[in-house]
């Protein structure tokens, strides 16, 4: 009886080991077969059957659009602390958050309700053209930052840029590119 139990134990143990090996071996075999099918399918395509490179390469228009979106995201990120108003496909409101990874912004409407909007769906800030500066703004700008020429002082450049951002002036050409809406003061 003891011998039968020992034999049965060895059979079960061997079966478990073989089952594990069989399952692992089976998975490896499935992966090899799948990989082989992919390689076979890839090799089966001839040059004349290959789609044109336009499918794989971005068009000039798409590359320009990507650059415009990148420019807009950089501009909106810099304006975030200054409460810039934006227009989205849903409504208008104050920009309160930017998610660069997902290319989304969070906007708070006048009634306090907030919502998210995709940048690619047409988020546009309301900005002023630099030519719309009032005489008082020009006077403040030139007196605070040493006139038209900033020189090589990065601190002055940063303060100058921050002043333009705070007062919602477009100094990146977003209005001309159709990425911002021009407002008058």
| Domain ranges within the chain, ordered by starting residue | 2-50, 60-183
In angstroms, the CA 94 to CA 121 distance is 17
Given this model, what pLDDT does residue 139 score?
86
Residue 105 has a CB neighbour count (10 Å cut-off) of 26
- Three-class SS state of 37: helix
10 Å CB burial of residue 180 (0-12, 13-18, 19+) is: buried
Given this model, what pLDDT does residue 6 score?
53
Given this model, what pLDDT does residue 48 score?
47
Instruction: Point out which residues pair with 97 in neighbouring strands.
Output: 106
Highest-pLDDT range among 120-124, 154-158, 175-179? 175-179
- Residues 63-117 pLDDT 10s: 777 888 899 999 999 999 999 999 998 899 999 999 988 889 999 999 999 999 9
């Amino acid at each position: 009886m003891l011998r039968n139990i020992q034999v049965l134990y060895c059979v079960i143990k061997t079966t478990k080991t073989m089952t594990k090996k069989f399952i692992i071996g089976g998975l490896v075999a499935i992966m090899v077969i799948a990989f082989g099918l992919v390689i076979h399918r890839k090799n089966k395509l001839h040059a004349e059957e290959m789609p044109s490179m336009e499918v794989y390469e971005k068009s000039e228009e798409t590359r320009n659009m990507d650059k415009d979106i990148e420019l807009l995201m950089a501009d909106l990120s810099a304006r975030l602390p200054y409460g810039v108003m934006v227009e989205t496909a849903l409504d208008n409101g104050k920009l309160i958050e930017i998610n660069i990874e997902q290319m989304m912004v969070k906007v708070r409407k006048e009634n306090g309700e907030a919502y998210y909007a995709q940048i690619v769906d047409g988020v546009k800030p309301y900005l002023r053209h630099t030519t719309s500066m009032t005489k008082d703004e020009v006077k403040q700008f030139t007196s605070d930052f040493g006139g038209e020429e900033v020189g090589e002082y990065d601190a002055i450049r940063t303060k100058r840029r921050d002043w333009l951002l705070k007062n919602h002036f477009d100094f990146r050409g977003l209005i001309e590119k159709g990425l911002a809406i021009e407002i008058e003061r």
